[in-house]
Amino acid sequence: MRHGFSLVELSIVLVILGLLTGGILTGQSLIRASEIRSVTTQMNLYRTAVMSFRDKYFALPGDMRNATAFWGALDSGDGLGADCHGVAATGTATCNGDGNGSMTMLDTSTGGGNNIQGERYRFWQHLANAGLIEGSFTGKTDSTSDTWTNTAAKNVPAAKITSGIWTMEGATAHPGNTTQFSRPGGVIYNLGKTDAGFSPLYAEEVWNVDQKIDDGLPGKGNVRSSKLTSPSTPGCSTTDNGDTAAYAVSYKSNTCNLTFITE
């Protein structure tokens, strides 16, 4: 005589499967919520680190004119230009900034394009040298041919969110372009991805961060995202007008930029 499962037994199995599935999904949601909270924590960490650096050294990290006086020079000269900014640091030896507050390149006359982002990468190295953030950073692009190649925990910090990295964008006002809303000057960071230049966040998640610490709007305030018709990160906002844009919280692609501006 052959025996099968009774309806009661099948019901118990289905209940157990449902509980397991629900537990997995709940666990994933809790992990993701923790990662989103870490974004705000790291933003506040970098804001505090830069303020402490300026109080101690009277300069912005990366842009500091006399950094080599504190930590040694990577070149044999004045710590400026392509002969310094093209060299990867293996210790605290570094390069000077030009002190103009722009967080861009110093001297491209002798090194070609590889050094255009010099100050933006030295930014992280100077903060680490000062003991204000964890890690050790090379201070240069992670490429011999590309001026803007980021590798987590090598030349930029890893974000505490899956596939996330933090990059230094600049320190001057921006008039806006096809991707970005116009913005004021300040120390500007982007949350990007290790496998591309775009964010690992959904529009709803950027809104969540923005709502907690700023004004909840993608085109205003100190937390911003990309335009509706951005070629690289479209759909994150409801319009290209920074005065009226809101977050497109129903957009289901995790490519929405998070730009963070501090004084």
pLDDT tens figures, 150-192: 999 999 999 988 889 999 888 888 888 999 999 888 899 999 8
141 in the same domain as 76 = yes
132 in the same domain as 212 = no
202 in the same domain as 139 = no
CA distance 14 to 117: 57
* Domain end position, chosen among 148, 183, 217: 148
What pTM, to 2 d.p., does this model score?
0.85
166 in the same domain as 257 = yes
What is the sign, positive or negative, of the torsion defined by CA atoms of 223, 43, 48, 68? negative
Confidence of residue 114 (pLDDT cuts 50, 70, 90): very low
- 126-140: average pLDDT: 96
Provide the domain limits for residue 57.
48-148
193: helix, strand or coil: strand
pLDDT per residue over 178-235, tens digit each?
A: 999 998 888 999 998 876 657 889 999 999 999 999 999 999 999 999 999 999 889 9
* Domain end position, chosen among 121, 148, 175: 148
Q: Let me know if residue 245 belongs to a domain.
A: yes
Return the H-helix or E-strand segment holding 28. Answer: helix 7-57
Query: 24 pLDDT exceeds 60?
Result: no
What is the tally of structural domains in the chain? 2
